[in-house]
């Protein structure tokens, strides 16, 4: 892709208020598309887009999530930057499988957090579980985001560039204070990285979590996001309503939050099978 077209695409993405990470991914996909044909996307059309996506799927073995990113990038390129909507009008987003995540029990969460040797990483992951944050949100917290009077955390520029407030438990506040006294991070970033002025990377925290999983010998698929799912499921099992959980998690749709009902032990165990109602008075009223 030519420098001028790339600059136009970046500018359009910035004007549309996309995050820096999304901009980088979209431009990378567009560059790959141009390199595949060794021509500018402005010279290509619907046939080339279709063949490229099939090549990525069949030859490069790109999965549904990766293919969805290519589709989104090319749609933006042709609809916004090149103003040639007809090129991608018939392109549909692939269906991406959404397997139910593994959920940790309370004792497993406690065991896992204790196994993390680094105080900084243990505190970050405690925040991810204790407040239901995405790992990137936890890493970007600043000292000013801790509101001990209201017992809340201010999450800034979360997914979709949205701000929100989440609960700050007394135990988590104590842990944050202990960390601050030990690390003395300063007035800005709560979890600074190696580069001045930048937060710790999410990848470093994921590595620390993987090591702790190995130490604990847990067989579940445990990622930082599994802690967020566990947080939501535990809230649901303790009686918190879905709408409250939706707000805390920062979900745009209640349907996303409702996925946690599929993995809630309370909802599964509290549901009576119709076979147990057959032949009973309750069954006659419920089933006819």
Q: Does residue 183 or residue 101 have the better pLDDT?
A: 183
Q: Give the mean model confidence (pLDDT) for residues 138-160.
A: 87
Q: Where in 83-190 does DSSP place strands (E)? A: 146-147, 152-155, 164-167
Q: What is the pLDDT of residue 45?
A: 95
Q: What's the pLDDT score for residue 272? A: 54
Per the listing, tokens 């008075």 go with 281
| Token pair belonging to 214 | 């190995």
pLDDT for res 82: 97
Q: Check: CATH 1.10.150.130 for 3-87?
A: yes
Q: What is residue 279's predicted lDDT score, i.e. its pLDDT?
A: 61
pLDDT confidence bin for 259, thresholds 50/70/90 = low
In whole angstroms, what is the distance from residue 100 CA to residue 228 CA? 13
Is 80 exceeded by the pLDDT of residue 83?
yes
Domain boundaries, the chain: 3-87, 106-268
Pick the CATH number of 106-268 from 3.40.50.1100, 1.20.58.410, 1.10.443.10, 1.10.3720.10: 1.10.443.10
* Mean pLDDT, residues 221-225: 88
pLDDT range class, residue 256, cuts 50, 70, 90: low
| Mean predicted confidence (pLDDT) in 236-250 | 80
pLDDT higher at 88 or 269: 88
Question: Is 260's pLDDT higher than 80?
Answer: no
């Amino acid at each position: 892709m030519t420098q001028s077209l790339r600059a136009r695409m970046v500018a359009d993405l910035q004007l549309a208020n996309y995050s820096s990470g999304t901009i980088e991914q979209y431009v990378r996909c567009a560059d790959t598309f141009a390199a595949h044909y060794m021509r500018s996307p402005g010279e290509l059309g619907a046939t080339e887009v279709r063949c490229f996506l099939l090549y990525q799927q069949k030859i490069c073995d790109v999965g549904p999530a990766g293919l969805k990113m290519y589709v989104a990038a090319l749609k933006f390129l042709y609809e916004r930057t090149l103003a040639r909507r007809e090129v991608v009008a018939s392109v549909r987003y692939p269906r991406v499988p959404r397997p139910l995540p593994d959920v940790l029990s309370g004792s497993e969460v406690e065991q896992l957090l204790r196994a993390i040797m680094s105080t900084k990483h243990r505190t970050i992951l405690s925040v991810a579980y204790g407040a239901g944050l995405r790992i990137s949100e936890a890493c970007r917290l600043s000292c000013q985001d801790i509101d001990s009077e209201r017992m809340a955390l201010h999450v800034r520029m979360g997914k979709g560039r949205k701000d929100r407030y989440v609960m700050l438990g007394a135990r988590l506040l104590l842990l944050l204070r202990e960390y601050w006294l030990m690390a003395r991070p300063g007035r800005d970033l709560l979890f600074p990285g190696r580069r001045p002025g930048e937060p710790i990377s999410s990848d470093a925290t994921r590595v620390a979590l993987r090591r702790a999983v190995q130490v604990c010998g847990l067989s579940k698929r445990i990622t930082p996001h599994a802690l967020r799912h566990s947080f939501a499921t535990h809230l649901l099992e303790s009686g918190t309503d879905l709408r409250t959980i939706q707000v805390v998690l920062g979900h745009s749709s209640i349907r996303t939050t409702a996925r946690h009902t599929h993995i809630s032990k309370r909802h599964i165990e509290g549901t009576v099978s119709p076979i147990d109602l057959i032949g009973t008075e309750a069954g006659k009223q419920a089933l006819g």
